[in-house]
Structure 1
Amino acid sequence: MASAGSAASAYFQRASLLWMAVITLSMGFFAWTVFWPTKVPYEHLGPLGSFVQYLVKNHYSTLFNGFWVAWLIHVAEAAYSLRLCSAKGITDSGARRHWVLQTFLFGIASLSLLIAYKPVKKRR
């Protein structure tokens, strides 16, 4: 039987599939508008298409920089998740690797789960 300490050291919880899909599609669309703006079918996207087309035409440098800032934020969240793993007693390298990778890819959807985790206090 595994002890509470070993369960805490290997703690990992997958983010919600809904949030994973939303973040993947959003970042994918963001990349599409930044790197291939002429290939986006703006007219088929309704008000979102009009808004994004306006941003591409009038504020492209802000979009471009915003894309890289978004990834920089994901990198910072992933680094913070590694620190949180240490602070919460998650010592298993596989679990830590999963937290860092998941947080890098899905940001706050993953990080919020790790922040909410309350490890069981060890009894003396």
Structure 2
Amino acid sequence: MVVAKSEASRDATAYFRSARLWPALITVLGLGYFAWAVFWPESIPYQSLGPLGSFTQYLADHHQTLLRNGYWLAWLVHAGESLYAMVLCKSKGITSPQARLLWFLQTFLFGVASLSILIAYRPKRQKRT
């Protein structure tokens, strides 16, 4: 099938790929557990979680400020990654507002699981005639 140059360039300007399932799931579960430890530490079944539970209980009991600040720092890092995703979109020629919004939101939620896909993307160079 022959694709016109305008269609080929339009595809490159709207490039978007979903994050891989396992890295995205690990990120969501990690941030969810982090939030649980920060906001509802009394409801965590520490004994059922083995070494992770013991470590979390120690942090919750002795370093609540560090835990809370670390949680907000993690979200700040995700916000920074999202802004960097916008810079990458511009440098890689992704100009579609919908694609850019999807990259921003996906990177904010899944962090490096999304950003690594965008970093690895190599758009085809258009030959000028």
- For the aligned pair, the TM-score class normalised by the smaller chain equals over 0.9
Unaligned runs of 5+ in 1: none
- Which stretches of structure 1, 4 residues or more, deviate above 4 A after TM superposition? none
Q: Tell me, in whole angstroms, the C-alpha distance in 2 between the residues paired with 1:100 and 1:8.
A: 17
User: Which residue does 1:51 correspond to in 2?
Assistant: 55
Q: Trace 1:14-53 onto structure 2 (pairs within 5 A).
A: 14-53=18-57
Q: Tell me, in whole angstroms, the C-alpha distance in 1 between the residues paired with 2:80 and 2:52.
A: 29
Q: Tell me, in whole angstroms, the C-alpha distance in 2 between the residues paired with 1:75 and 1:23.
A: 14
Q: Trace 1:104-123 onto structure 2 (pairs within 5 A).
A: 104-123=108-127
User: Which residue does 1:4 correspond to in 2?
Assistant: 8
> Once the two structures are superposed, what CA deviation does each residue of 1:27-50 show, in whole Å capped at 9, x if it has no partner?
000000000010111011011100
Match of 1:92 among 96, 116, 119: 96
User: Which residue does 1:60 correspond to in 2?
Assistant: 64
Q: Tell me the TM-score normalised to structure 1 length.
A: 0.97
Question: How many residues matched?
Answer: 124
Q: CA deviation at 1:4?
A: 2.3
Local SS of the residue matching 1:119: coil
CA contact 1:4–1:120 (8 Å) conserved in 2: no
Unaligned runs of 5+ in 2: none
User: Which residue does 1:72 correspond to in 2?
Assistant: 76
> Once the two structures are superposed, what CA deviation does each residue of 1:9-32 show, in whole Å capped at 9, x if it has no partner?
010010111111111111000000
Local SS of the residue matching 1:45: helix
Q: Tell me, in whole angstroms, the C-alpha distance in 2 between the residues paired with 1:121 and 1:112.
A: 21
Percentage of pairs with the same residue:
53
